[in-house]
């Protein structure tokens, strides 16, 4: 992936490149989420992932339609701004920025956690050496910030290689795990004896959404993909199904796994089931590594391979947070939702150094707060991550509905199924039922976050309020509308977007429809 000027990205991403770009952002999530969810939801872990997974399918379909129809790198922030106006667009983007900064810290934490599973690096464990653990994560964040300022990024080829290796590795763990260790009767027993309280189940579902965060990468890839309206749906559906399968498979395997080694007793000396061992505080940040090392014979190799590979994947995902946050901030400042200083680039390196420094700095602050939580630091980060994702995705569903109603002329080569054909303001529109179902699901998860996360319910809304204050001050200074939106020529913009994307057939279709609506409409070159 090139470090090119965001206002003129080169469209060089292939279908596999688009898939691997998305997978590099989302594929690592299960390495983080599994331990967190098992620690809370216990015997209902697979149910938590199922609920979150079905909501995620709706979110994925929404992003697929929107990214294919509006192939611009702004992602959720752009879709919401376009559909619902500048203020809500800002809130959606600001919520995603929370996720990207948490992404930096949470995945760096996970990286160190997986490395600590290696015997030679056990000193990195958070529970036994918290001070060293903190400084190593700090060094990783600082290192990633430095690399991004200089402009060093993993190439698309490297992303593709890592994605292929990860799909292969995760599939291998699952196939061997299901073949040699899975006991359906143990799965049922775990679910019946380990069923959590309603509070814990809601908490677990709200954390399970972490497994699916990163879908914005679909839209980021769209601006660098040629013919995105054709490529994005194809790769996105495969990506959505792959991630869903991995999340369900790991959670079911964890509950029904007969481990190769005897499960150690818990801290109080009592016998425990394997899933309880996985969800223990000292294993939460390396659950996949612990699982894979308990597969007969393969575990001997996995004990070294999975921690190293998992740590690499998590480091790449942490880096995606650094790059993604600067890209979102750049897009928001282009539309005057954030000050223009977030668009400034370094004189020598031509990178958005202020954005990178700002959001990596925030990531360090979050690290400090997480470290202060002691053994609950990992959960603290997960709480915030879940809030940002739920808030942003809620708005994206509303934006999808708004754009279907207010922008029916934009060609949609891929449309979410289950629509009601109706007339709205003299135009034929298709009301998306899946968006309503998805909205209900993600809003429920947002409510679960607010009800069950005692830190997330304060820190998450505080972040939004802090952002809104910045937005109001900035817009008043620039004499721009605060509650309203700047006037924009969306129709002309969309024609240009489709032209630059190489979607000339769709561009012609749009121009024809626009001229049928308004014979005076002319295309500006």
Partner 1 sequence: MMRDRFKAFTGALFIVLGFIIIYRIAGIAGFRFEAVPGLVLGAAMMALGIYRIAFMIRALR
Q: Which residues of this chain interact with partner 1, rule CB under 8 A? A: 46-47, 49-50, 175, 178, 182, 184-185, 187-188, 191-192, 234, 237-238, 241-242, 244-245, 248-249, 251-252
- Give the shortest CB-188-to-partner 1 separation in angstroms: 5
Enumerate long-range contacts of 366-369, CB under 8 Å, 24 or more apart: 366/101, 366/102, 366/105, 367/105, 367/108, 367/109, 367/134, 367/137, 367/138, 367/141
Q: 442 is written with which tokens?
A: 């993600």
Q: 447 is written with which tokens?
A: 């409510």
- Give the shortest CB-184-to-partner 1 separation in angstroms: 4
Largest CA distance in the chain: 80
- Give the shortest CB-248-to-partner 1 separation in angstroms: 4
- Give the shortest CB-406-to-partner 1 separation in angstroms: 32
Closer by beta carbon to partner 1, 244 or else 501: 244
Integer angstrom CA distances of residue 30 from 38, 43, 522: 12, 17, 49
User: Rounded to an integer, what distance in angstroms lies between the CA atom of residue 285 and that of residue 109?
Assistant: 8
Residue of 215, 237, 248 lying closest to 99 (CA atoms): 215
Closer by beta carbon to partner 1, 237 or else 345: 237
For 157-181, what is the HEC assignment?
Answer: HHHHHHHHHHHHHHHHHHHHHHHHC
Q: 62 is written with which tokens?
A: 């929404």
- Give the shortest CB-48-to-partner 1 separation in angstroms: 9
Torsion of CA 248, 252, 255, 259, to 10 degrees: -110
Q: Are 166 and 369 in contact (CB under 8 A)?
A: no
C-alpha torsion sign, points 325, 434, 395, 332: positive
Closer by beta carbon to partner 1, 248 or else 437: 248
- Give the shortest CB-254-to-partner 1 separation in angstroms: 12
Closer by beta carbon to partner 1, 46 or else 326: 46
Closer by beta carbon to partner 1, 187 or else 313: 187
What count of Cα atoms within 13 Å lies in the side-chain half-sphere of residue 241? Answer: 5
Closer by beta carbon to partner 1, 167 or else 455: 167
- Give the shortest CB-179-to-partner 1 separation in angstroms: 9
- Give the shortest CB-163-to-partner 1 separation in angstroms: 14
User: Rounded to an integer, what distance in angstroms lies between the CA atom of residue 97 and that of residue 104?
Assistant: 11
Closer by beta carbon to partner 1, 275 or else 330: 275
What does DSSP assign to residue 152?
-
- Give the shortest CB-193-to-partner 1 separation in angstroms: 11
User: Rounded to an integer, what distance in angstroms lies between the CA atom of residue 156 and that of residue 166?
Assistant: 15
Count CB atoms within 10 A of the CB of residue 482. Answer: 13
- Give the shortest CB-249-to-partner 1 separation in angstroms: 6
- Give the shortest CB-68-to-partner 1 separation in angstroms: 16
Determine the 3-state secondary structure of 1 from DSSP: coil
- Give the shortest CB-199-to-partner 1 separation in angstroms: 20
Q: 186 is written with which tokens?
A: 């143990």
Q: Are 213 and 96 in contact (CB under 8 A)?
A: no
What does DSSP assign to residue 224?
T
Closer by beta carbon to partner 1, 49 or else 342: 49
Closer by beta carbon to partner 1, 132 or else 418: 418
Closer by beta carbon to partner 1, 110 or else 177: 177
**How many Å from the N-terminal Cα to the C-terminal Cα in the chain?**
28
Closer by beta carbon to partner 1, 50 or else 218: 50
Residue of 242, 210, 252 lying closest to 44 (CA atoms): 252
The H or E element containing residue 364 is helix 353-372
Determine the 3-state secondary structure of 337 from DSSP: coil
What does DSSP assign to residue 407?
-
Closer by beta carbon to partner 1, 88 or else 434: 434
């Amino acid at each position: 992936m090139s470090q090119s000027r965001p206002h003129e990205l080169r469209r060089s991403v292939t279908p596999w490149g688009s898939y691997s770009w998305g997978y590099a952002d989302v594929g690592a999530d299960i390495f983080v989420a599994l331990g967190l969810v098992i620690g809370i939801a216990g015997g209902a872990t697979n149910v938590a992932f199922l609920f979150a997974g079905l909501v995620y399918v709706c979110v994925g379909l929404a992003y697929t339609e929107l990214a294919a129809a509006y192939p611009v790198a702004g992602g959720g922030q752009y879709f919401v701004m376009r559909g619902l106006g500048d203020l809500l667009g800002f809130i959606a983007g600001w919520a995603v920025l929370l996720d990207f900064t948490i992404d930096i810290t949470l995945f760096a934490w996970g990286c160190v956690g997986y490395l600590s599973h290696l015997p030679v690096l056990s000193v990195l464990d958070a529970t036994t050496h918290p001070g060293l653990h903190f400084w190593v994560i700090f060094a990783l964040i600082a290192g990633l910030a430095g690399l991004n300022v200089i402009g060093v990024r993993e190439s698309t080829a490297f992303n593709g290689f890592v994605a292929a290796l990860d799909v292969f590795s995760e599939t291998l763990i699952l196939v061997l795990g299901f073949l040699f260790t899975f006991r359906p009767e143990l799965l049922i027993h775990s679910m019946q004896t380990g069923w959590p309280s309603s509070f814990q189940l809601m908490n677990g579902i709200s954390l399970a959404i972490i497994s699916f965060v990163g879908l914005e990468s679909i839209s980021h890839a769209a601006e660098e993909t040629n013919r995105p309206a054709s490529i994005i749906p194809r790769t996105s559906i495969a990506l959505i199904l792959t991630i869903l399968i991995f999340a369900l498979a790991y959670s079911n395997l964890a509950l029904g796994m007969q481990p190769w080694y005897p499960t150690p007793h818990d801290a109080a000396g009592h016998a425990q089931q394997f899933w309880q061992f996985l969800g223990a505080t000292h294993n939460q940040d390396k659950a996949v590594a612990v699982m894979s090392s308990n597969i007969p014979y393969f575990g001997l190799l996995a004990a070294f391979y999975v921690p190293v590979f998992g740590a690499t994947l998590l480091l790449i995902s942490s880096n995606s947070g650094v790059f993604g946050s600067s890209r979102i901030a750049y897009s928001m400042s282009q539309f005057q939702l954030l000050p223009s200083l977030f668009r400034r680039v370094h004189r020598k390196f031509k990178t958005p150094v202020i954005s990178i420094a700002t959001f990596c700095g925030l990531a360090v602050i979050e690290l400090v707060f997480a470290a202060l939580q002691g053994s609950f630091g990992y959960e603290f980060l997960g709480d915030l991550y879940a809030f940002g994702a739920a808030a942003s995705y809620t708005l994206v569903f509303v934006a999808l509905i708004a754009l279907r109603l207010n922008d029916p002329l934009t060609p949609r080569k891929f449309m979410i199924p289950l629509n009601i054909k109706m007339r709205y303001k003299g135009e034929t529109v298709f009301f998306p039922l899946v968006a309503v179902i998805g909205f209900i699901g993600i809003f429920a998860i947002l409510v679960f976050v607010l009800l069950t996360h005692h830190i997330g319910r304060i820190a998450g809304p505080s972040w939004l309020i802090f952002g809104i204050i910045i937005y109001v001050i900035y817009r008043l200074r620039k004499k721009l509308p605060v509650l309203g939106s700047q006037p924009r020529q969306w129709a002309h913009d969309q024609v240009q977007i489709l032209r630059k994307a190489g979607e000339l057939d769709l561009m012609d279709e749009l121009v024809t429809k626009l001229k049928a609506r308004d014979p005076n409409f002319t295309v500006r070159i």
